[in-house]
Amino acid sequence: KNRFLLLINPLDAESRSIREGSRVRVKSPKFQFELDARLTDEMMPGVISIPHGWGHESEETLQKIAVENGGGNLNALGDDKAFDPVSGNADLHIRNIQVTPLR
């Protein structure tokens, strides 16, 4: 079962011509990858989620089953220099993402 999916609100999907199960590209200024879309009204408009994005596409990992099931590295989409000014923790909320359907 493929769990590396883009979860997107149906209204956002419609405005981008994305259909259930269609292949999309997720792109930030630093990185991009492709995955399948799942339309769900559980996502607020303007927000996407990509569960199970741990970067298993790298053959350097020792996790054989994970490599066979793929998955993009979500952290590579973000800014590695961004941090929360109060706590000093890494800012894991990735912004400035483009989602486009693949034809």
pLDDT above 90: residue 98: yes
Distance CA 23, CA 100 (A): 9
pLDDT in tens, 14-47: 999 999 999 999 999 888 889 999 999 999 999 9
- What letter represents residue 9's amino acid? N
The pLDDT value given to residue 26? 95
Among candidates 82, 89, 95, which has minimal Cα distance to 29?
95
DSSP state for residue 54 in the 8-state scheme: B
Q: Which is it for strands 5-8 and 98-101: parallel, antiparallel or unpaired?
A: unpaired
CA distance 16 to 50: 17
The average pLDDT across 41-69 equals 76
Report whether pLDDT(58) > 70. Answer: no
**Fold (CATH) for 5-101:** Barwin-like endoglucanases (2.40.40)
User: What pLDDT score was predicted for residue 67?
Assistant: 67
Domain boundaries, the chain: 5-101
Top pLDDT among 13 and 3 is at 13
| pTM to 2 decimal places | 0.79
Per the DSSP assignment, residues forming a β-bridge with 35 are 24
Is the C-alpha dihedral spanning 3, 63, 99, 103 positive or negative?
A: negative
